[in-house]
Chains A and B, each alone.
Chain A
Amino acid sequence: MKFLCVPCDSPMKLQTVGPPERGSLSIVYSCPECGYEIAMLTNAYETQAVQSLGVRIGPEKSVADASGEANASAAGCPFAAMIPGTQDVQPSRDHSAEPAPVRWTAAAEARLANVPAFVRPMAKAGIERFARENGCLEVDEKILDAAREFFGM
Protein backbone atom coordinates (compact mmCIF):
# COMPACT_ATOMS: atom_id res chain seq x y z
CA MET A 1 0.00 0.00 0.00
CA LYS A 2 1.28 3.45 -0.90
CA PHE A 3 -0.04 6.92 -0.13
CA LEU A 4 0.14 9.87 -2.46
CA CYS A 5 -0.28 13.55 -1.57
CA VAL A 6 -2.55 14.56 -4.42
CA PRO A 7 -1.90 18.34 -4.37
CA CYS A 8 1.88 17.79 -4.43
CA ASP A 9 1.73 14.58 -6.51
CA SER A 10 4.35 13.30 -4.08
CA PRO A 11 4.61 9.88 -2.36
CA MET A 12 4.04 10.18 1.38
CA LYS A 13 6.58 8.83 3.87
CA LEU A 14 5.83 6.69 6.89
CA GLN A 15 6.72 8.70 9.99
CA THR A 16 5.59 6.83 13.10
CA VAL A 17 3.75 3.74 14.20
CA GLY A 18 1.63 4.28 17.28
CA PRO A 19 1.44 1.77 20.11
CA PRO A 20 -0.73 -1.21 19.19
CA GLU A 21 -4.08 -0.91 20.89
CA ARG A 22 -6.66 -3.69 20.81
CA GLY A 23 -5.24 -4.94 17.55
CA SER A 24 -5.16 -1.55 15.87
CA LEU A 25 -2.07 0.22 14.62
CA SER A 26 -1.89 3.99 14.10
CA ILE A 27 0.49 4.59 11.25
CA VAL A 28 1.27 8.22 10.41
CA TYR A 29 2.42 9.28 6.95
CA SER A 30 3.48 12.75 5.90
CA CYS A 31 4.10 14.50 2.63
CA PRO A 32 7.79 15.46 2.28
CA GLU A 33 6.76 18.45 0.12
CA CYS A 34 4.03 20.20 2.11
CA GLY A 35 4.27 18.39 5.45
CA TYR A 36 0.61 17.36 5.43
CA GLU A 37 0.00 14.35 7.67
CA ILE A 38 -2.51 11.55 7.56
CA ALA A 39 -2.94 8.54 9.85
CA MET A 40 -3.89 5.04 8.74
CA LEU A 41 -5.79 3.29 11.51
CA THR A 42 -5.99 -0.44 10.96
CA ASN A 43 -8.59 -2.79 12.31
CA ALA A 44 -7.52 -6.06 13.91
CA TYR A 45 -8.05 -8.08 10.74
CA GLU A 46 -5.94 -5.74 8.64
CA THR A 47 -3.20 -5.74 11.25
CA GLN A 48 -3.33 -9.51 11.50
CA ALA A 49 -3.19 -9.96 7.73
CA VAL A 50 0.05 -7.97 7.57
CA GLN A 51 1.50 -9.62 10.66
CA SER A 52 0.84 -13.03 9.15
CA LEU A 53 3.32 -12.22 6.40
CA GLY A 54 6.01 -12.11 9.08
CA VAL A 55 7.01 -8.54 8.20
CA ARG A 56 7.64 -5.53 10.40
CA ILE A 57 5.93 -2.19 10.14
CA GLY A 58 7.97 0.95 10.65
CA PRO A 59 9.56 3.95 9.03
CA GLU A 60 12.83 3.87 7.18
CA LYS A 61 15.80 3.83 9.55
CA SER A 62 16.63 7.52 9.24
CA VAL A 63 13.04 8.60 9.80
CA ALA A 64 12.73 6.29 12.81
CA ASP A 65 15.89 7.64 14.38
CA ALA A 66 14.70 11.19 13.85
CA SER A 67 11.26 10.71 15.30
CA GLY A 68 12.14 8.38 18.15
CA GLU A 69 8.50 7.44 18.34
CA ALA A 70 8.51 4.15 16.50
CA ASN A 71 9.62 2.09 19.48
CA ALA A 72 6.23 1.96 21.02
CA SER A 73 5.76 0.17 24.30
CA ALA A 74 3.58 -2.82 23.64
CA ALA A 75 3.98 -5.32 26.46
CA GLY A 76 1.60 -8.19 25.98
CA CYS A 77 0.40 -7.01 22.60
CA PRO A 78 0.28 -9.77 19.98
CA PHE A 79 1.60 -7.33 17.40
CA ALA A 80 4.67 -6.27 19.37
CA ALA A 81 7.01 -8.15 17.02
CA MET A 82 5.76 -6.08 14.09
CA ILE A 83 7.11 -2.86 15.47
CA PRO A 84 10.84 -2.21 15.76
CA GLY A 85 12.11 -2.24 19.31
CA THR A 86 9.15 -3.99 20.89
CA GLN A 87 9.89 -7.61 20.05
CA ASP A 88 10.78 -10.02 22.83
CA VAL A 89 8.66 -7.99 25.27
CA GLN A 90 7.03 -10.59 27.46
CA PRO A 91 4.03 -10.05 29.70
CA SER A 92 4.86 -10.09 33.39
CA ARG A 93 4.29 -13.43 35.10
CA ASP A 94 4.43 -14.88 38.54
CA HIS A 95 7.95 -16.28 38.83
CA SER A 96 7.60 -17.62 42.37
CA ALA A 97 7.31 -21.29 41.34
CA GLU A 98 9.95 -21.16 38.60
CA PRO A 99 13.51 -22.51 38.84
CA ALA A 100 16.46 -20.23 39.36
CA PRO A 101 16.86 -17.80 36.46
CA VAL A 102 19.55 -18.50 33.92
CA ARG A 103 21.65 -15.62 32.60
CA TRP A 104 22.67 -15.34 28.96
CA THR A 105 25.95 -13.84 27.85
CA ALA A 106 25.75 -11.25 25.09
CA ALA A 107 27.36 -13.65 22.60
CA ALA A 108 24.86 -16.41 23.43
CA GLU A 109 21.97 -13.92 23.18
CA ALA A 110 23.24 -12.89 19.76
CA ARG A 111 23.15 -16.53 18.65
CA LEU A 112 19.66 -16.97 20.06
CA ALA A 113 18.48 -14.22 17.73
CA ASN A 114 19.16 -16.65 14.86
CA VAL A 115 16.23 -18.80 16.01
CA PRO A 116 12.93 -17.85 14.32
CA ALA A 117 10.98 -15.62 16.70
CA PHE A 118 8.04 -18.01 16.94
CA VAL A 119 10.06 -20.95 18.27
CA ARG A 120 12.63 -18.81 20.15
CA PRO A 121 10.91 -19.02 23.56
CA MET A 122 10.74 -22.83 23.33
CA ALA A 123 14.35 -23.06 22.17
CA LYS A 124 15.46 -20.70 24.94
CA ALA A 125 13.62 -22.65 27.63
CA GLY A 126 15.10 -25.92 26.38
CA ILE A 127 18.65 -24.59 26.40
CA GLU A 128 18.19 -23.15 29.90
CA ARG A 129 16.95 -26.55 31.05
CA PHE A 130 20.02 -28.15 29.48
CA ALA A 131 22.25 -25.61 31.26
CA ARG A 132 20.64 -26.28 34.65
CA GLU A 133 20.93 -30.03 34.16
CA ASN A 134 24.63 -29.47 33.58
CA GLY A 135 25.00 -27.37 36.72
CA CYS A 136 25.20 -23.99 34.98
CA LEU A 137 23.16 -20.86 35.60
CA GLU A 138 24.70 -18.99 32.70
CA VAL A 139 24.30 -19.81 29.03
CA ASP A 140 27.39 -18.93 27.08
CA GLU A 141 28.73 -20.15 23.76
CA LYS A 142 30.38 -23.13 25.46
CA ILE A 143 27.00 -24.33 26.73
CA LEU A 144 25.49 -23.89 23.26
CA ASP A 145 28.33 -25.87 21.72
CA ALA A 146 27.94 -28.54 24.39
CA ALA A 147 24.22 -28.80 23.59
CA ARG A 148 25.01 -29.18 19.89
CA GLU A 149 27.46 -31.95 20.68
CA PHE A 150 25.10 -33.66 23.13
CA PHE A 151 22.34 -33.84 20.53
CA GLY A 152 24.70 -34.98 17.79
CA MET A 153 24.34 -31.83 15.69
Chain B
Amino acid sequence: MKRYHDIVGDGGSGILEQVAELRGRITDGLAGVRHIVAVGSGKGGVGKSTLTLHLAGALRARGVRIAILDADFNGPSQARMAGVHGALFVPGRHKVSLPRTMNGIAVFSMGSVIPESEALDFESAAQGESHTWRATREFALLGEILASFEWGALDLLMFDLPPGAERTVQYADFLEPLKPRVSFLLVTIPSEVSRGVVARSVAALSKGPNRLLGYVENMSGYYCRDCNAIKPLFESEPAGLSIPCLGTIPFDPELARHCDRGLPLAELPNTRVGRALDQIAQQLLDSLESTTEPSQ
Protein backbone atom coordinates (compact mmCIF):
# COMPACT_ATOMS: atom_id res chain seq x y z
CA MET B 1 0.00 0.00 0.00
CA LYS B 2 1.26 3.47 -0.85
CA ARG B 3 2.46 5.69 1.98
CA TYR B 4 2.18 9.46 2.35
CA HIS B 5 5.47 10.24 0.65
CA ASP B 6 4.73 7.92 -2.27
CA ILE B 7 1.94 10.25 -3.38
CA VAL B 8 2.67 13.52 -5.17
CA GLY B 9 0.36 16.41 -4.22
CA ASP B 10 -2.70 16.25 -1.99
CA GLY B 11 -5.23 15.40 -4.68
CA GLY B 12 -6.64 18.88 -5.06
CA SER B 13 -5.99 22.03 -3.07
CA GLY B 14 -2.20 21.84 -3.08
CA ILE B 15 -2.00 23.38 0.37
CA LEU B 16 1.73 22.87 0.77
CA GLU B 17 2.27 24.29 -2.70
CA GLN B 18 0.19 27.35 -1.79
CA VAL B 19 2.28 27.91 1.31
CA ALA B 20 5.47 27.50 -0.72
CA GLU B 21 4.13 29.88 -3.38
CA LEU B 22 3.53 32.56 -0.74
CA ARG B 23 7.04 31.99 0.59
CA GLY B 24 8.36 32.53 -2.91
CA ARG B 25 6.39 35.77 -3.26
CA ILE B 26 7.79 36.99 0.06
CA THR B 27 11.33 36.24 -1.04
CA ASP B 28 10.76 37.98 -4.37
CA GLY B 29 9.13 40.98 -2.69
CA LEU B 30 12.09 41.43 -0.35
CA ALA B 31 14.75 40.72 -2.96
CA GLY B 32 15.83 44.38 -2.93
CA VAL B 33 16.22 44.55 0.85
CA ARG B 34 19.84 44.36 2.05
CA HIS B 35 19.24 43.98 5.78
CA ILE B 36 16.29 43.09 7.98
CA VAL B 37 16.51 44.07 11.64
CA ALA B 38 13.82 42.81 13.98
CA VAL B 39 13.53 45.04 17.03
CA GLY B 40 12.20 42.99 19.93
CA SER B 41 12.47 42.59 23.63
CA GLY B 42 10.17 40.07 25.15
CA LYS B 43 9.10 42.73 27.63
CA GLY B 44 6.31 45.13 26.77
CA GLY B 45 6.44 48.87 27.37
CA VAL B 46 10.19 49.29 27.07
CA GLY B 47 10.03 51.54 24.02
CA LYS B 48 10.58 49.14 21.12
CA SER B 49 8.34 51.12 18.80
CA THR B 50 9.74 54.48 19.83
CA LEU B 51 13.29 53.25 19.37
CA THR B 52 12.44 51.63 16.02
CA LEU B 53 10.93 54.80 14.61
CA HIS B 54 13.52 57.25 15.84
CA LEU B 55 16.44 54.98 15.07
CA ALA B 56 14.99 54.73 11.58
CA GLY B 57 14.86 58.54 11.52
CA ALA B 58 18.50 58.80 12.55
CA LEU B 59 19.45 56.28 9.86
CA ARG B 60 17.34 58.03 7.26
CA ALA B 61 19.17 61.27 8.06
CA ARG B 62 22.36 59.44 7.08
CA GLY B 63 20.84 58.61 3.71
CA VAL B 64 19.84 55.03 4.53
CA ARG B 65 16.86 53.79 2.49
CA ILE B 66 14.64 52.40 5.17
CA ALA B 67 11.16 51.02 5.88
CA ILE B 68 9.35 49.94 9.04
CA LEU B 69 6.94 47.06 9.34
CA ASP B 70 4.86 47.35 12.49
CA ALA B 71 4.48 43.65 13.23
CA ASP B 72 2.45 44.33 16.35
CA PHE B 73 -0.87 43.81 14.59
CA ASN B 74 -2.83 43.81 17.84
CA GLY B 75 -1.28 46.93 19.33
CA PRO B 76 0.01 48.92 16.36
CA SER B 77 1.57 52.25 17.31
CA GLN B 78 3.78 53.14 14.36
CA ALA B 79 0.93 54.67 12.36
CA ARG B 80 0.35 57.34 15.00
CA MET B 81 3.98 57.87 15.92
CA ALA B 82 5.10 58.09 12.30
CA GLY B 83 2.22 60.36 11.36
CA VAL B 84 0.68 57.95 8.82
CA HIS B 85 -2.48 56.94 10.67
CA GLY B 86 -4.69 58.60 8.06
CA ALA B 87 -2.77 57.20 5.10
CA LEU B 88 -4.25 54.83 2.55
CA PHE B 89 -3.01 51.56 1.17
CA VAL B 90 -3.13 52.36 -2.54
CA PRO B 91 -2.74 49.49 -5.01
CA GLY B 92 -0.32 49.94 -7.88
CA ARG B 93 -0.18 47.80 -11.01
CA HIS B 94 1.69 45.01 -9.27
CA LYS B 95 2.13 45.86 -5.61
CA VAL B 96 0.55 48.05 -2.96
CA SER B 97 2.25 51.34 -2.23
CA LEU B 98 3.46 52.07 1.29
CA PRO B 99 2.70 55.30 3.12
CA ARG B 100 5.77 57.40 3.90
CA THR B 101 6.72 59.71 6.70
CA MET B 102 7.71 63.30 6.06
CA ASN B 103 11.36 62.25 6.12
CA GLY B 104 10.81 59.45 3.61
CA ILE B 105 10.51 56.32 5.76
CA ALA B 106 8.05 53.80 4.30
CA VAL B 107 5.77 52.46 7.03
CA PHE B 108 3.33 49.59 7.18
CA SER B 109 1.18 49.66 10.28
CA MET B 110 -2.21 48.12 10.83
CA GLY B 111 -2.95 51.36 12.67
CA SER B 112 -3.18 53.11 9.30
CA VAL B 113 -6.45 51.33 8.51
CA ILE B 114 -7.87 50.23 11.86
CA PRO B 115 -9.02 53.06 14.14
CA GLU B 116 -7.58 53.07 17.66
CA SER B 117 -11.10 52.55 18.99
CA GLU B 118 -11.28 49.14 17.25
CA ALA B 119 -9.48 45.87 17.85
CA LEU B 120 -8.01 43.65 15.16
CA ASP B 121 -10.58 40.97 14.54
CA PHE B 122 -10.61 37.89 12.34
CA GLU B 123 -13.84 36.19 11.39
CA SER B 124 -13.99 32.66 12.66
CA ALA B 125 -16.44 29.91 13.37
CA ALA B 126 -14.16 28.39 16.00
CA GLN B 127 -15.83 30.67 18.50
CA GLY B 128 -13.90 31.48 21.65
CA GLU B 129 -10.98 29.23 20.69
CA SER B 130 -8.68 31.83 19.14
CA HIS B 131 -5.69 30.53 21.11
CA THR B 132 -5.76 27.49 18.79
CA TRP B 133 -5.44 29.37 15.50
CA ARG B 134 -4.87 33.11 15.93
CA ALA B 135 -1.06 33.15 15.81
CA THR B 136 -1.16 31.10 12.61
CA ARG B 137 -3.64 33.53 11.09
CA GLU B 138 -1.52 36.53 12.05
CA PHE B 139 1.61 35.05 10.51
CA ALA B 140 -0.33 34.21 7.33
CA LEU B 141 -1.41 37.86 7.20
CA LEU B 142 2.16 38.98 7.77
CA GLY B 143 3.20 36.81 4.83
CA GLU B 144 0.53 38.36 2.61
CA ILE B 145 1.68 41.84 3.60
CA LEU B 146 5.33 41.11 2.87
CA ALA B 147 4.38 39.58 -0.47
CA SER B 148 1.92 42.28 -1.55
CA PHE B 149 3.48 45.61 -0.57
CA GLU B 150 6.09 47.52 -2.55
CA TRP B 151 9.25 47.31 -0.44
CA GLY B 152 11.51 48.07 -3.38
CA ALA B 153 15.22 48.70 -2.95
CA LEU B 154 16.01 49.20 0.73
CA ASP B 155 19.17 49.26 2.78
CA LEU B 156 17.20 48.26 5.84
CA LEU B 157 13.75 46.95 6.73
CA MET B 158 13.00 47.20 10.44
CA PHE B 159 10.43 44.93 12.06
CA ASP B 160 8.82 46.40 15.16
CA LEU B 161 7.98 43.18 17.00
CA PRO B 162 5.16 42.66 19.48
CA PRO B 163 6.04 41.88 23.11
CA GLY B 164 6.59 38.34 24.33
CA ALA B 165 9.76 36.25 24.32
CA GLU B 166 7.94 33.41 22.58
CA ARG B 167 6.66 35.79 19.90
CA THR B 168 10.23 36.96 19.26
CA VAL B 169 11.23 33.36 18.61
CA GLN B 170 8.20 32.80 16.37
CA TYR B 171 9.34 35.75 14.25
CA ALA B 172 12.83 34.29 14.11
CA ASP B 173 11.32 31.08 12.77
CA PHE B 174 9.13 32.96 10.31
CA LEU B 175 12.08 35.01 9.00
CA GLU B 176 14.38 32.00 8.83
CA PRO B 177 14.13 31.65 5.01
CA LEU B 178 15.40 35.23 4.67
CA LYS B 179 18.61 34.61 6.59
CA PRO B 180 21.43 35.64 6.56
CA ARG B 181 19.94 39.09 6.00
CA VAL B 182 18.01 38.92 9.30
CA SER B 183 19.34 40.26 12.61
CA PHE B 184 17.81 40.99 15.99
CA LEU B 185 18.14 44.09 18.14
CA LEU B 186 16.70 43.84 21.63
CA VAL B 187 15.48 46.63 23.87
CA THR B 188 15.44 46.71 27.64
CA ILE B 189 15.13 49.26 30.41
CA PRO B 190 17.32 49.43 33.53
CA SER B 191 15.03 47.38 35.73
CA GLU B 192 15.82 43.88 36.91
CA VAL B 193 12.42 42.66 35.78
CA SER B 194 13.00 43.88 32.23
CA ARG B 195 16.56 42.57 32.08
CA GLY B 196 15.33 39.19 33.25
CA VAL B 197 12.71 38.96 30.53
CA VAL B 198 15.08 40.19 27.83
CA ALA B 199 17.71 37.71 29.02
CA ARG B 200 15.14 34.98 28.36
CA SER B 201 14.68 36.33 24.84
CA VAL B 202 18.45 36.24 24.33
CA ALA B 203 18.52 32.65 25.56
CA ALA B 204 15.61 31.65 23.34
CA LEU B 205 17.05 33.30 20.24
CA SER B 206 20.49 31.84 20.93
CA LYS B 207 19.09 28.33 20.60
CA GLY B 208 18.82 28.88 16.87
CA PRO B 209 21.17 30.33 14.26
CA ASN B 210 19.97 33.86 14.92
CA ARG B 211 22.20 36.88 14.59
CA LEU B 212 21.91 39.10 17.67
CA LEU B 213 23.36 42.54 17.01
CA GLY B 214 23.03 43.57 20.63
CA TYR B 215 20.69 45.51 22.83
CA VAL B 216 19.77 49.08 23.63
CA GLU B 217 19.01 50.23 27.14
CA ASN B 218 16.10 52.64 26.90
CA MET B 219 14.90 54.95 29.68
CA SER B 220 18.45 54.94 30.95
CA GLY B 221 17.92 57.80 33.33
CA TYR B 222 15.60 60.79 33.11
CA TYR B 223 16.64 63.83 31.15
CA CYS B 224 15.79 66.92 33.16
CA ARG B 225 15.52 69.90 30.83
CA ASP B 226 15.63 72.38 33.69
CA CYS B 227 19.07 71.34 34.89
CA ASN B 228 20.22 69.75 31.61
CA ALA B 229 21.27 66.59 33.44
CA ILE B 230 20.45 62.88 33.41
CA LYS B 231 18.91 61.75 36.70
CA PRO B 232 18.28 58.15 37.79
CA LEU B 233 14.92 56.70 36.81
CA PHE B 234 15.33 53.19 38.21
CA GLU B 235 17.20 52.13 41.32
CA SER B 236 18.55 48.81 40.05
CA GLU B 237 22.26 48.16 39.94
CA PRO B 238 23.91 48.60 36.54
CA ALA B 239 24.05 45.25 34.79
CA GLY B 240 24.37 44.09 31.25
CA LEU B 241 23.20 41.25 29.11
CA SER B 242 25.32 38.63 27.41
CA ILE B 243 25.17 40.46 24.08
CA PRO B 244 26.77 43.80 23.10
CA CYS B 245 25.18 47.01 24.30
CA LEU B 246 24.78 49.35 21.34
CA GLY B 247 23.93 52.30 23.51
CA THR B 248 21.71 53.88 26.11
CA ILE B 249 18.91 56.40 25.71
CA PRO B 250 17.60 58.64 28.48
CA PHE B 251 13.90 59.18 28.99
CA ASP B 252 12.88 62.56 27.65
CA PRO B 253 9.22 63.64 27.98
CA GLU B 254 9.67 65.75 24.89
CA LEU B 255 10.33 62.60 22.88
CA ALA B 256 7.10 61.08 24.18
CA ARG B 257 5.27 64.22 23.10
CA HIS B 258 6.76 63.91 19.62
CA CYS B 259 5.59 60.28 19.45
CA ASP B 260 2.04 61.18 20.41
CA ARG B 261 1.93 63.90 17.75
CA GLY B 262 3.67 61.93 15.01
CA LEU B 263 6.56 64.37 14.75
CA PRO B 264 10.02 63.29 13.57
CA LEU B 265 12.98 63.49 15.90
CA ALA B 266 14.56 65.96 13.50
CA GLU B 267 12.50 68.54 15.33
CA LEU B 268 14.57 67.83 18.44
CA PRO B 269 18.00 68.67 17.10
CA ASN B 270 21.12 68.37 19.17
CA THR B 271 19.48 66.95 22.27
CA ARG B 272 20.76 64.19 24.55
CA VAL B 273 18.23 61.77 23.08
CA GLY B 274 19.04 62.82 19.54
CA ARG B 275 22.76 62.33 20.07
CA ALA B 276 22.23 58.97 21.76
CA LEU B 277 20.08 57.76 18.87
CA ASP B 278 22.63 58.97 16.36
CA GLN B 279 25.40 57.03 18.09
CA ILE B 280 23.26 53.89 18.22
CA ALA B 281 22.45 54.31 14.53
CA GLN B 282 26.17 54.30 13.75
CA GLN B 283 26.74 51.27 15.98
CA LEU B 284 23.91 49.48 14.22
CA LEU B 285 25.34 50.21 10.79
CA ASP B 286 28.78 49.07 11.92
CA SER B 287 27.32 45.84 13.31
CA LEU B 288 25.36 45.16 10.14
CA GLU B 289 28.41 45.62 7.98
CA SER B 290 30.56 43.41 10.21
CA THR B 291 30.98 39.74 9.46
CA THR B 292 29.71 38.45 12.78
CA GLU B 293 28.45 34.91 12.50
CA PRO B 294 25.08 34.03 14.02
CA SER B 295 25.20 32.91 17.63
CA GLN B 296 24.66 29.20 18.07
Partner of A153, one of B18, B97, B144: B97
Stretch at the interface among B125-133, B183-191, B257-265: B125-133
Q: Which of A4, A48, A127, A148 lies at the interface centre, i.e. has the most chain B CB atoms within 10 A of its CB?
A: A48
Cα A11 to Cα B94 with chains together (Å): 37
* CB-based contact A126/B15 at 8 Å: no
B62 at interface (Cβ–Cβ under 8 A)? no
Residues on B with C-beta less than 8 A from A123 are: 88-91, 96, 113
Instruction: Judge if B44 is at the interface, Cβ distance under 8 Å.
Output: no
Closest to B140 in A: A54
A85 interfacial by beta-carbon distance below 8 Å: no
Q: Tell me the nearest residue of chain B to A14, going by C-beta.
A: B12
CA distance A52 to B125 in the complex (A): 12
Inside 8 A of A153's CB, which chain B residues have their CB? 90, 97-100
**What A residues does B110 contact at CB under 8 A?**
119
Whether the pair A13, B19 counts as a contact (CB closer than 8 A) is no
A147 and B141: CB pair below 8 A? no
A48 to chain B: which residues have CB within 8 Å?
124-126, 129, 132-133
Cβ of B99: which chain A residues have Cβ within 8 Å of it? 151-153
**Given A2-B11, A54-B144, A58-B13: A22 and B92 within 8 A (CB)?**
no
Q: Kindly list chain B residues whose C-beta atoms are within 8 Å of the C-beta of A4.
A: 1-2, 7
Q: For this complex, into which size category does the number of interface residues on chain A fall?
A: 35 or more
Pairwise interchain contact A116-B12, C-beta atoms closer than 8 A: no
Please judge, given known A-B contacts A78-B125, A147-B90, whether A52 and B136 are in contact too, CB under 8 Å. Answer: yes
A79 touches B88 (CB 8 A): no
Question: Which of B1, B89, B140 makes the CB contact (< 8 A) with A6?
Answer: B1
Contact A112 B91 (CB under 8 A): yes
Q: Known: A2-B4, A11-B7, A50-B15. Contact between A23 and B125, CB under 8 A?
A: yes
Interface size on B, residues (CB 8 A): 49
Contact of A79 among B7, B12, B98, B125 (CB under 8 A): B125
Query: Are A45 and B126 also in contact (CB < 8 A) when A53-B15, A116-B148, A148-B97 are?
Result: yes
- CB contacts (< 8 Å) of B15 on chain A: these are 50, 53, 55, 57
B87 at interface (Cβ–Cβ under 8 A)?
yes
Which of these, B4, B14, B132, contacts A49 with CB under 8 Å? Answer: B132
Q: With a CB–CB cut-off of 8 A, which chain B residues contact A3?
A: 11
| A-B contacts, CB under 8 A, total | 153
Is A126 touching B88 in the complex (CB atoms < 8 A)? yes
Query: A9 to chain B: which residues have CB within 8 Å?
Result: 1-2
Cβ-based interface call for B10 (8 A): yes
How many Å lie between the Cα of A2 and that of B12 in the bound state? 9
CA distance A113 to B1 in the complex (A): 44
> Complex: how many Å from CA A8 to CA B137?
37
Question: Would A54 and B143 be within 8 Å (CB), given that A114-B95, A119-B113, A153-B99 are in contact?
Answer: yes
Q: A11-B7, A14-B13, A48-B126 are in contact. Are A122 and B114 (CB under 8 A)?
A: yes
Chain A, residue nearest B18 (CB): A55
Is the C-beta of A144 less than 8 angstroms from some C-beta in chain B? yes
The yes or no answer to A115 lying at the interface (CB within 8 A) is yes
What residues of B have a CB within 8 angstroms of the CB of A86 in the complex? none
- Chain B min CB distance to A46 (Å): 9
Whether, in the assembled complex, B207 has its beta carbon less than 8 Å from a beta carbon of chain A, the answer is no
Contacts known (A53-B136, A114-B96); A126 close to B11, Cβ less than 8 A: no
CB-CB under 8 A from A53, the residues of chain B are 15, 18-19, 136, 140
Q: Which residues on B are within 8 Å of A, measured CB to CB?
A: 1-2, 4, 7, 9-15, 18-19, 22, 87-100, 110, 113-114, 122-127, 129, 132-134, 136-137, 140-141, 143-145, 148
Minimum-distance CB pairs A-B, first 5: A14-B12, A23-B125, A54-B140, A78-B123, A122-B113
